[in-house]
Structures are given as C-alpha cells and as structure tokens.
Amino acid sequence: MLSIQHIRKRFDDVLALNDVSFDVANGQILGLIGQNGAGKSTTFHSILNFITYDGQITWQGHAFTPQDFNHIGYLPEERSLMTKLTIEQQIVYLARLKGQKARDIRPQIDDWLARFAVKGTRKSKIGALSKGNQQKVQLICTLIHRPDLLILDEPFSGLDPVNADLLKRAILDAKQRGAAIIFSSHDMENVTELCDQLVMLRTGNVVLHGTLQDVRNQFGKTELFVTTDWSTDRLAALPGVASVTVRQPGQYRLHLTTAQAGPAIFQELTQGHYIEEFSQQPPTLDEIFRLKVGEDHA
C-alpha cells in the first residue's frame, strides 16, 4: 500500500502542497484530479523522492528505498524517449534499470507492441515513430516490468479513444494482478470509469477525497433524469425544480433545489402509472469538478 500522510511542500513563496494525505491500497486505482498547478505532479514528484517535502510517504509500510525502484512504473507528464535508440534498445535499457534481465524482456516485446498496436517493429528507431506511437512505447516501458506501484501523470493526454481504451485495459490488468495505481487526469470520464477512489486537489489542498460514489453523494441526488410527454414549463413548475434542460425531445434533466424533492415529483409525474425513465442521481464528477473549480474562482 502507498500511504501519503500530511505532505507539505513549498516552492519559495508558493505553497504547492498543504497537508495532503491519502492511501492507495494494493489492487486499487486512485484518480488525482485538479486544475493545472493544483499540485498533482508535485505529489508524484514527492512520492518518487524527486523533491524534498515535509510529511511521510511509505510504500508497503516503509519509507522508499532504492530497492523499491524496481517495483515502480512511472509515466511522466511530458513524454520523452531516447530518439536515437531502437524500440527494442529503449525498452530493454529501461527494463534493465528496473532490475529486469534483457533475456526475459526481449521475448515479450513483440507481444507488447501488438497489444498497444504500435506502428513499427522492434528495430524501428524511436525518432522515426509518430508522436502517438512514441507515447505507446513509453507506456510499454512503464508497464513491461509488471510494477507493483504505477504512477501515471496524465496518461490519457494525446491518446485517441481507441488507444485510450488499450491503456485502460492495461491499467485494469495491472489492478487485477494487485498493483496500486495512482494517475492524474483532466478527463473525468476516465476517472469515473477506472477509479476506486479519487482525490481532488485545489491549490495544494485536498478538497475532495473518497470513493467515487461517496464523493458524488456528498453533493446530494439533485439531478433528475426523466422521460415524459410533459412540457418544459410544466416540469419547471414542479415543486423543488430549480431548472430544466432538454436532453432529447421528451427527455429532460431536472436540477433540484434539494434531493428530498424527488419522491413528491415522482408522485406528481407518474400518478401511479408506468413511466419510461425516472432516475435521481448525484452530480457527475465533471459537474463536481466544475463546481469546485468555480468555488475557487468565486
């Protein structure tokens, strides 16, 4: 388990992290969200000991030691490889630095290239690959040694939906074999899809922390999705409805002033009859993100 307790980091006059605490259990995925400059990369750099910090970070119950390097897979925010090397040379070099033997890694390379649909062979020069394919090779370098702790800084940035799906599958595979995974993302859909828990940072402070459902439920089930032949005006006149949005003709999204208004609206709308859709939900992560960012700007 990765445990981060009361981390604090200051760069000159800027407090980059302020009392940040969370745990990532083995076999769990934690999503770290926040605006640019919120402190996500600083958190990763603290975990990796790239910078000094106040507080405590432990891995499997002890402070990180050079021996733990072999169990970490790290993908930095900006992609970067050694362009003069071939794919094979690059993967083998970085895997050897992770304590792997070249003879164990070489036979796996073709499989990994096929798995990520890399356009190129093991003998292709990194510099000759497209940006997207270089990114995939870097992902392979991050994953091929089967790390127990995966730290992925914006792993989906620049990936098309097909390749994003390939990466999701790889992340879920790592989770399946018990790796603790922490990744940052601006795409709330990916976070919703993958994460067991999330942490939102705002100017170095933790503003949200918990499982996805817990976080959403904190905001109450104020979103109501209905399919009905009622008009917009009639829906807006219902008690407790703050606003109405048309999703499709006959399909509406009602924003409630309070979650308690739901049962009364259900009674009014159905009158004891069948209704095709009535779903009361908390706000989406994307909405919560915008809400929290908005609080900062307010």
Partner 1 sequence: MLKTWIVTCETYLRQVKSWSFFFMVLGPFLMLGLTVGITYVSSRSNASSQNIAVIAETPALRQNFIAENPSNIDKQITTVTAAKKALHQNHLAGYLVLRQTDHQLRADYHGPKALGKGLKAQVQNYLAQTQQVTNYQQAKLTAKQQRLLQRTPKLTQHIAASTGTANLAKTISFWLIVTMIYIILVTYASITAQEIASDKGTKIMEIIFSSTTAVSYFVGKICGILLVILTQIAIYLLGGWAIYSWALSRPHLHAMWTQYHTLVTAILHNLLNLNLLYLLVGVVLFTLVAAYSGAVVAKAEDASKAAQPVVMLGMVGFFATFPFQNNLDALPVKIMSYVPFLSSYFMPMRIINGTVSLGTQWLSLGLALLTVAALAGYIGRKYQHLMLQTDSHSVWQHLFQRH
**Shortest CB 20 distance to partner 1, Å:** 20
The minimum distance between CB 50 and partner 1, in angstroms, equals 5
- How many angstroms separate the CA atoms of 198 and 185, rounded? 11
How many Å apart are CA 48 and CA 57, to the nearest integer? 10
Q: Tell whether residue 236 is a contact of partner 1 (CB under 8 A).
A: no
Compute the least distance from the CB of residue 259 to partner 1, in Å.
Answer: 44
Residue 120 CB, nearest approach to partner 1 (Å):
19
Residue number with CB closer to partner 1 (27 or 76): 76
Beta strand ranges found along 69-222 (DSSP E): 72-75, 149-153, 180-184, 197-202, 205-211
Q: Quick one: CA dihedral 182, 159, 76, 146, positive or negative?
A: positive
Residue owning tokens 């990994």 = 112
Least separation in angstroms between residue 73's CB and partner 1 is 8
Measured CA to CA, the distance from residue 94 to residue 104 in angstroms comes to 13
Residues 285 and 212: beta-carbon distance below 8 Å = yes
106 scored as a contact of partner 1 (CB under 8 A): no
Residue (80 or 248) nearer to partner 1, CB? 80
Residue 14, interface with partner 1 (CB under 8 A)? no
State in Å, rounded, how far the first CA of the chain is from the last one: 37
138 or 222: CB nearest partner 1: 138
Show the site string, 60-99: x = touches partner 1 by CB under 8 A, - = not.
Answer: ------x--xx-x-xxxxxxxxx-xx-------xx-xxx-
Site for partner 1 in 141-180 (CB under 8 A): 141-142, 151
Give the nearest distance from C-beta 195 to partner 1 in angstroms.
22
DSSP 81-98: --TTSBHHHHHHHHHHHT
DSSP string, 230-244: --HHHHHTSTTEEEE
When asked if residue 50 is in the footprint of partner 1 (CB under 8 A), the reply is yes
Instruction: Give the whole-angstrom CA distance, residue 95 versus residue 138.
Output: 11
Contact footprint for partner 1 (CB under 8 A): 45, 48, 50-52, 66, 69-70, 72, 74-82, 84-85, 93-94, 96-98, 141-142, 151
